[in-house]
Amino acid sequence: MRGVYPRQPAAAYTSVGIQPLANRGSGAWSCAKIGKPLTVCISKRARHRWCRASFLFAICVTACNEPSSHDAKQVGSVNRTTVVGTLENNEIDEASGLTRSQRDPNLLWVINDDGPAVLHAIDTTGGMLGRVKLSDTSNRDWEDLASFTLDGVPYLLIADTGDNDAKRKDVRFYVIEEPDPATKKVDYAWRVDFSYPGGPRDAEAIAVDVENERVLILSKREIPARLYAVPLRPDSKKRQTAQRLGAVGSLPQPSRRDVEFAPKTDVWRWQPTSMDISGDGMQAVVLTYGGVYLYQRRPDQSWLEAMHGPPLVVSRSGNRQAEAIAFDMSGDALYITLEQRNAPLFRLAIDRASNE
């Protein structure tokens, strides 16, 4: 959730055992070019919004030169980036989660981070396809959305895990069978309540590890971010305790100056806001306010082990509204949208040929 960050002193970010951070450089950003947008029929006002957002998002390719820790690899040939449309449904005004359909390659699902407990179906240009209400639930702070297939059944997972003030005793996720976009209302198949060891955490980046039947959660405000796991389908309905897997220090880390000035500038570029795992289970992508980072896993690796290595840098940006990312069905491209009404829908094609 943007614009609701607790105004904490820098010391607050060292209260979870953070070691002193080295200064990573000036943190100055630069960008190359944004992919040429496709022709879409939108209003002048909406066109202005996504054009402005496009420049703010600043999809960066080979000319990016932001200093970064861990020598993250730059993906070659990621310049095939397009703004494929806008989210035309005015109800989607704070998109916090985005995921691909498991049924239809031309269908995406979107959620808002507050308001009605509703999933929005859109096509791959942002056109509205449907609105599905989730029964017997509330949207306290929905922050991410994932899709997966288990035992031949396609599902959607809604993560109600936002906790800006770190006060929630437990958070939860809901799992529903993926509906037809024309469906008006659905019940959830199951719900999992959980808490974190050591107290509440704010988390906006969630993905489903189908192979191990667990949900991965990447914390937002810990430095470095920490990866947690919760059973996807526990045997008991009792509240679960998330397993702390470890820190993900391979993402670009802030300097002490970054942390000190963030409450004043509202620039938190190191914080993860969304995550997804590809359909083949071999790639994970993490979106932060500062960029898009791709991890590739070997069959013998755990996700934590894969995330200990340097990620491929798909893009670097400076957009404080970057909140939602998803692989397409093929795993060869990413969709991204922002937390605003009539937000642009970006598509980033990943070409790994030059890295092989």
pLDDT, tens digit, 9 for 90 and up, residues 54-79: 434 444 433 333 434 444 554 443 44
Q: Is the pLDDT of residue 32 over 90?
A: no
Q: Enumerate domains of the chain plus CATH numbers.
A: 22-351 (2.120.10)
127-169 residue pLDDT tens: 999 999 999 999 999 999 999 999 999 999 999 999 999 999 9
Share of the chain above pLDDT 90, in %: 72
The pLDDT, as a whole number, for residue 318 is 63
293-343 residue pLDDT tens: 999 999 999 999 999 999 999 988 667 788 999 999 999 999 999 999 999
List, as own/partner pairs, every contact residues 234-241 make where C-beta atoms lie below 8 angstroms and the sequence separation is at least 24, other chains included: 234/192, 239/170, 239/193, 239/194, 239/195, 240/192, 240/193, 240/194, 240/195, 241/194, 241/195, 241/196, 241/197
Q: Is the pLDDT of residue 11 over 60?
A: no
Q: How many CB atoms lie within 10 A of CB 195?
A: 18
Q: What three-state secondary structure class fits 336?
A: strand
- Identify residue 92 by its one-letter amino acid code: I
The pLDDT, as a whole number, for residue 315 is 87
- Quick one: average pLDDT of 73-97? 79
Q: Is the pLDDT of residue 43 over 80?
A: no
Give residues with Cβ within 8 angstroms of 300, minimum separation 6. none
- Quick one: average pLDDT of 285-299? 96
- Quick one: average pLDDT of 170-194? 98
- Quick one: average pLDDT of 251-261? 96
Predicted TM-score (pTM) of this structure: 0.82
The pLDDT, as a whole number, for residue 69 is 44
Mean pLDDT, rounded, of the chain: 82
Q: Is the pLDDT of residue 2 over 90?
A: no
Tokens (6 digits) for 152 = 């031949």
- Quick one: average pLDDT of 240-266? 96
The pLDDT, as a whole number, for residue 37 is 33
The pLDDT, as a whole number, for residue 321 is 85
Buried b (16+ CB within 10 A) or exposed e, 145-170: bbbbeeeeebbbbbbbbbbeeeebee
- Quick one: average pLDDT of 191-206? 97
Pick from 19-28, 81-90, 174-183: least confident = 19-28
In terms of Cα–Cα distance, which of 135, 95, 75, 102 is closest to 285? 75
CA dist., res. 32 & res. 30, Å (int): 7
The pLDDT, as a whole number, for residue 35 is 35
CA dist., res. 204 & res. 209, Å (int): 16
